[in-house]
Structure 1
Amino acid sequence: MFILEATTQLSFWGPIVFFCIGVPAALFNIIIFIGFKTFRKSPSAYYVVGQSLLDVSVLLLVLLPVISSVSTSVSSTVCKLGLFLAQVTVSGAMSFLCLTAFDRWACTSRSARVRRLNSNHIARYLVLFTFLFWSLVNIPYLIFCDLIPPTYVCFSTNDVFTKIVFYFLAPIFSTVFPLLVLIIFIVLTHRNIRLIAHIHDQQQPVRTRSSMWEQQMTRMMVAQTILSIFCTLPRAIFYTYSAITLEQNATKSFNQISIELLVDQLTISIMSINFVSSFYIYFLFSPRLRQTIKIHLKSLCHLTPNQVVPIDNSLTIAQNRMRHH
């Protein structure tokens, strides 16, 4: 009973806490990376904004089932749209994490040909492609998912599609494949950074503002990628375990099922950190971001120092003479 109670409490309070923490952070990301030219000129800004928009959507979709008046069991249409949007937003958000890792690899590459992939033009097309790709891939959820009587649970009504979801769509697209992509690009980026540092030590180049800003962007994105790897790994392991033991579900004991439900909820909560952490990671690892936020907060609160305006002495003397006359 304790395990079931812990699972219930986690599934109720987890979405509420993540929503309260994550939505303001995602909105800050959107404001900063769109509103400030320094951040906007980097191709990574497109991926950060796209991810932030999907982060808000994911957190909202996770929160809705907690609200008693909102449920996917309300109607067939709500059921289909709920599952479809959940898959699109989660897969899309994970894709943008992969794209930021790819962008940092391209930016730090020694090859000029690869560095050309780090451009605003390509970033715009990749953002549009990501939204379109996941919308098309997840169309089967609109076709094969519905309310299943007598409990009216919202899930797949087709046995073949159910196996595709368990063995391919959910584990591969949402966790395993993004995890592999993140690991590959973080290793390649780390190698590029070491090569660049070695060349810099030999040549002792003069650092420009743009190169220093790119280094900060790289530090921010690498930190976010490393955190995403650790947050996604438990979910990928649980998906693998669920796929292997899918045929044994009928023979599992009550205690085993309860423990699996708790682990399922724990891995969901850990993976949800991906959707709430980006702003806090950027704030922690970027002095430029902290300085920019500090300056604009002072400006909004009218805490900027008073400016001294020079006075034209000749004009003042002329005005005094006119008064005497």
Structure 2
Amino acid sequence: MPLTIVQLDLIGRYLNIYFGSFMLIAGLLGSCINLWLFTRHRFRKSPCSRFVIASSLFDILHLIVALFLRVLADGFGKDPASSSVIGCRIRYYLITFSAYASLGCRCLASFDRYACTSRSISFREWSSFKIAYNFLIINTFIWICFALPNFLYFNLVPIGPARVICHIAEKAYSNYFAYFVNPVLYFSLPLIIIITLAIKTHKNLRLMNKTKRIKRLERRMASMIILQAITNSISSIPYGIQFFYSVITFTSEKDEYRRAQENLFLQITRLSYYINFISAFYIYYVSSKQIRSTIRRTILRQKKLSTPSTSSSSSSKNQFSDKYASRKSFK
């Protein structure tokens, strides 16, 4: 028996409330742990750590302005961005900036790992702290400027007698996003860059393993970036398919039931898209024994620090009771 329109809408709503909330908490927690990990002395030695730190900061911003507000809008029916034009434009400016800046950091991290594992001495010089900082400044500046048109072309668009949404109000800018920005700049080009660099880095690692000319930390960082590239590529496919489908069928006649089906598919693929912004720490944790041991040692250290205070308090209580008992017996 097929699901009704109401049931399809309820599934999408509960997906946003429960799964979306879980992803939000997991993403914020993972990004904060990444910041803590890669600012430590052991992991700061690699230039790639700078891209991971910057990407984690952009991920936190994106999860707040995109996923958190999306859960409020699609899960609880409360969309703060639709209450004012200024809020609408600021939100989508920050969404665009943080998404592309984070993606740029992942591309730069992939390039850094490729350069670091290169057999060419001159090309390995591209993996340095100075170049990493310069790349980060350029990356941030490009996407700050790139997102500026959102302040002009996003507006509150009515979609019913008593409902408005924050959307692109200019058709030319909408076509620019639909046919160039999303398919080329966000999906196709970064995936080609990341996958190509991941394959080349993997080949370099195989050669380096024979000659053992690469530090263990750099090798592990390269392996983590490769695994993250694969995960991001897979998680981007459903949303890319949904996006191309919506563009192709935009002018098609659709009944209410088909719209409800497409909306549910949109909710599912949109949540899969957020995996790009929540998965970094968990990929690093699974693929790196060094990260697991660092976290384990930190937890054990915290337990040891809390244990003496407990034992000292209990010993002081015992001493007090002994003194009290001796005084009582003396009397």
The interval holding the TM-score normalised by the smaller chain is 0.7 to 0.9
Alignment RMSD, CA only? 2.2
Cross-structure match for 2:317: none
Cross-structure match for 1:38: 42
Cross-structure match for 1:309: none
User: Do the aligned partners of 2:205 and 2:219 also contact (CA within 8 Å) in 1?
Assistant: no
Asked if 1:87 corresponds to 2:102, the answer is: no
Taking the aligned partners of 2:173 and 2:244, their CA distance within structure 1 comes to: 18
Taking the aligned partners of 2:136 and 2:182, their CA distance within structure 1 comes to: 22
Q: Which of 171, 179, 187 is the aligned partner of 1:159?
A: 171
Q: Which of 23, 29, 52 is the aligned partner of 1:18?
A: 23
Secondary structure, counterpart of 1:147 in structure 2:
strand
Cross-structure match for 2:292: 290
TM-score (norm 2): 0.82
Q: What is the percent sequence identity of the aligned residues?
A: 28
User: Do the aligned partners of 2:46 and 2:217 also contact (CA within 8 Å) in 1?
Assistant: no
Amino acid at match of 1:59: L
Deviation of 1:93 (Å)? 1.6
Cross-structure match for 1:216: 220
Taking the aligned partners of 1:261 and 1:272, their CA distance within structure 2 comes to: 17
Cross-structure match for 2:244: 240
Taking the aligned partners of 1:99 and 1:233, their CA distance within structure 2 comes to: 21
Taking the aligned partners of 1:112 and 1:265, their CA distance within structure 2 comes to: 48
Pairing of 1:295-310 with structure 2 (within 5 A): 295-302=297-304
Taking the aligned partners of 1:269 and 1:148, their CA distance within structure 2 comes to: 24
Secondary structure, counterpart of 2:167 in structure 1:
strand
Amino acid at match of 1:275: F
Taking the aligned partners of 1:216 and 1:184, their CA distance within structure 2 comes to: 19
Deviation of 1:123 (Å)? 0.9
Taking the aligned partners of 1:286 and 1:301, their CA distance within structure 2 comes to: 23
TM-score (norm 1): 0.84
Cross-structure match for 1:59: 63
Q: Which of 64, 75, 78 is the aligned partner of 2:84?
A: 75
User: Do the aligned partners of 1:80 and 1:141 also contact (CA within 8 Å) in 2?
Assistant: yes
User: Do the aligned partners of 2:194 and 2:229 also contact (CA within 8 Å) in 1?
Assistant: yes
Taking the aligned partners of 1:46 and 1:171, their CA distance within structure 2 comes to: 28
Higher alpha-carbon deviation: 219-228 or 168-177: 168-177
User: Do the aligned partners of 1:65 and 1:72 also contact (CA within 8 Å) in 2?
Assistant: no
User: Do the aligned partners of 2:154 and 2:167 also contact (CA within 8 Å) in 1?
Assistant: yes
Deviation of 1:273 (Å)? 1.2
Count of residues in Structure 1 that have an aligned counterpart in Structure 2: 295
Cross-structure match for 1:260: 262
Higher alpha-carbon deviation: 137-146 or 107-116: 107-116
Taking the aligned partners of 1:99 and 1:33, their CA distance within structure 2 comes to: 16
Taking the aligned partners of 1:233 and 1:115, their CA distance within structure 2 comes to: 32
Cross-structure match for 2:183: 171
Secondary structure, counterpart of 2:80 in structure 1:
coil
Cross-structure match for 1:278: 280
Taking the aligned partners of 1:120 and 1:296, their CA distance within structure 2 comes to: 27
Cross-structure match for 2:139: 130
Gaps of 5+ in 1: 307-325
User: Do the aligned partners of 1:298 and 1:304 also contact (CA within 8 Å) in 2?
Assistant: no
Taking the aligned partners of 1:284 and 1:33, their CA distance within structure 2 comes to: 16
Q: Which of 16, 28, 34 is the aligned partner of 1:29?
A: 34
Gaps of 5+ in 2: 309-331
Asked if 1:119 corresponds to 2:131, the answer is: no
Secondary structure, counterpart of 2:251 in structure 1:
helix
Secondary structure, counterpart of 2:82 in structure 1:
coil
Task: Note the alpha carbon deviations across 1:279-312, whole angstroms, 9 max, x for none.
Answer: 1111111111122222233333326999xxxxxx
User: Do the aligned partners of 1:39 and 1:45 also contact (CA within 8 Å) in 2?
Assistant: yes
Taking the aligned partners of 1:236 and 1:195, their CA distance within structure 2 comes to: 35
